[in-house]
Chains A and B, each alone.
Chain A
Amino acid sequence: MTRALASLALGVLASGLLAVGSAHAQQDPRRSGYDDMSSATQAMQRDDTQNPAMLFVADGEALWKRPAGSDAKTCASCHGDARTGMRGVAARYPAFYGSLARPVTLGERLNLCRTRQQRAEAWRAESAELLALEAYVALQSRGQVITPPDDTRLAPFRARGEQRYRRRIGQLDLACAQCHDDHAGKRLGGSTIPQGHPTGYPIYRLEWQALGSLQRRLRGCYSGVRAEAPPYGALELVELELYLASRAAGMTVESPAVRP
């Protein structure tokens, strides 16, 4: 009797869950930061003649064609035209890099190409050159769907990234999830808390008055909760990026985006 009731209750619950599931399938509850911006900032991103990141993209295009290193090879000597050769690449990163046996970000990957293929000196993290080339490569994936690679070697790193996302840190004792999952859409001071989907990096952030990477943004949150920010390129940040990419899988790449 009790068992029959319980299974009935489960059945009702399951059909209720199914109904919720199908409603969600129709409308993705995830929002890009773009959706929460003012119409003026949205217009700035939509219009390439207004978007200041396009200045960096123009620099990146020049760097793509400029010989570097002892062999004087350009990016184009191996990869050809970036518009075809780099199409969809940014939508896949971070990806696993075999010889380092760890995931690397798009910026790190560019530097690996620079040191290993071109035999040139690596660019400093957040340097204008690296961001410019990254923006140019990322632009070739604009409008494509974020598709993190289906690589089992990434799984442990991604799991650690998720742990970091949910772990409370800093003097304010806050986890990423507490703002960006639990309180997204509400206000923190004057600004709307975004859901934290990395859809448009590298971004031109009006607060920075410059182009910046996702790691710069993540480090901003670390100091925001008064935790010690890991240095650029730290595995901790790459793991977080990896988790964020899987969390945003299926959303559209907007790079290079504008954010307030």
Chain B
Amino acid sequence: MARTLITVPQDAKRGDVIEIRVLIAHPMETGYRVASDGKQVPRDILRRFTCRLDGEVVFAAALFPAISSNPYLAFPLRVERSGTLSFAWEGDGGFMQTETATLNVA
């Protein structure tokens, strides 16, 4: 399991636009590098990030080899109700990680 840091503001009111921040530990190996033994290092990147609120997709992003390791994403979200946010990262080699966070809207 990769380490993640997820920041969801807890003082949001109905209709507010909040900023959600996610950070995940991942090498984002481009596949273009050559190791000291002369062999190409196989590509190992995250391909897709999806954020869902109670199952409904509210934000998604495609990631590419040019994105640096330990990718950080911040995105705005207009919140109308409380719920459970789920964050999913999918990557090469069957990488799949899902984390959840509670969204409290006053």
Chain B residues near A50: list those with CB within 8 A. Answer: 21, 23, 72, 74
Output the nearest chain B residue to A132 by Cβ-Cβ distance: B3
- The contact sample of 9 A-B pairs, CB cut-off 8 A, is A49-B5, A49-B21, A54-B5, A54-B23, A55-B23, A55-B24, A58-B5, A59-B3, A210-B69
Interface status of A72 (Cβ within 8 A of chain B): no
Between A55, A59, A209, A210, the greatest number of chain B beta carbons within 10 A of the residue's beta carbon is seen for A55
Interface status of B7 (Cβ within 8 A of chain A): yes
Tell me the complex Cα distance, A58–B68, Å: 20
Interface status of B58 (Cβ within 8 A of chain A): no
Chain B residues near A58: list those with CB within 8 A. Answer: 3, 5
Chain A residues near B3: list those with CB within 8 A. Answer: 55, 58-59
Tell me the complex Cα distance, A117–B104, Å: 45
Tell me the complex Cα distance, A59–B25, Å: 11
Chain B residues near A49: list those with CB within 8 A. Answer: 5, 7, 21, 23
Chain A residues near B72: list those with CB within 8 A. Answer: 50, 52
Chain A residues near B27: list those with CB within 8 A. Answer: 209
A53 to chain B, nearest CB (A): 9
Chain B residues near A209: list those with CB within 8 A. Answer: 27-28, 68-70
Binding site for B on A (CB under 8 A): 49-50, 52, 54-55, 58-59, 206, 209-210
Task: Judge whether A55 and B21 touch: CB under 8 Å.
Answer: no
Chain B residues near A55: list those with CB within 8 A. Answer: 3-5, 23-25, 70
Contact residues, B24-67 vs A (CB, 8 A): 24-25, 27-28
Tell me the complex Cα distance, A50–B7, Å: 10
A173 to chain B, nearest CB (A): 28
Between B4, B5, B25, B72, the greatest number of chain A beta carbons within 10 A of the residue's beta carbon is seen for B5
Chain B residues near A210: list those with CB within 8 A. Answer: 69
A257 to chain B, nearest CB (A): 15
Tell me the complex Cα distance, A55–B71, Å: 11
Output the nearest chain A residue to B20 by Cβ-Cβ distance: A49
Tell me the complex Cα distance, A55–B27, Å: 13
B77 to chain A, nearest CB (A): 15
Contact residues, B1-20 vs A (CB, 8 A): 3-5, 7
Tell me the complex Cα distance, A59–B23, Å: 14
Chain B residues near A52: list those with CB within 8 A. Answer: 23, 25, 69-70, 72
